[in-house]
A and B are shown apart, each in its own frame.
Chain A
Amino acid sequence: NAGVMQNPRHLVRRRGQEARLRCSPMKGHSHVYWYRQLPEEGLKFMVYLQKENIIDESGMPKERFSAEFPKEGPSILRIQQVVRGDSAAYFCASSPGTGAGEQYFGPGTRLTVT
Chain B
Amino acid sequence: AQSVAQPEDQVNVAEGNPLTVKCTYSVSGNPYLFWYVQYPNRGLQFLLKYITGDNLVKGSYGFEAEFNKSQTSFHLKKPSALVSDSALYFCAVRRNQAGTALIFGKGTTLSVSS
Contacts and interface: CB of A to CB of B under 8 A. Distances in A.
A105 B36 contact: yes
Top 3 closest A-B pairs, CB basis? A98-B98, A45-B101, A105-B43
B98 A99 contact: yes
A101 to B, nearest CB: 8
Interface string B37-49: 0000111111001
Interface residues of B, number: 22
Given A42-B105, A48-B99, A102 B90 contact: no
A33 B101 CA distance: 7
B104 interface: yes
Contacts, number: 61
Contact of A100 (B51, B90, B107): B51
Interface in B74-114: 90, 98-107
Among A6, A48, A59, A105, chain B packs the most CB atoms within 10 A around the CB of A105
A100 B106 contact: no
A106 B45 CA distance: 9
- Binding site secondary structure of chain B: loop
Interface string A77-107: 0000000000000010101011110111111
A113 B99 CA distance: 32
B63 to A, nearest CB: 14
A107 B99 contact: no
B88 to A, nearest CB: 9
A54 to B, nearest CB: 12
B43 A102 contact: no
Nearest to B91: A42
Contact of A59 (B42, B46, B101, B106): B101
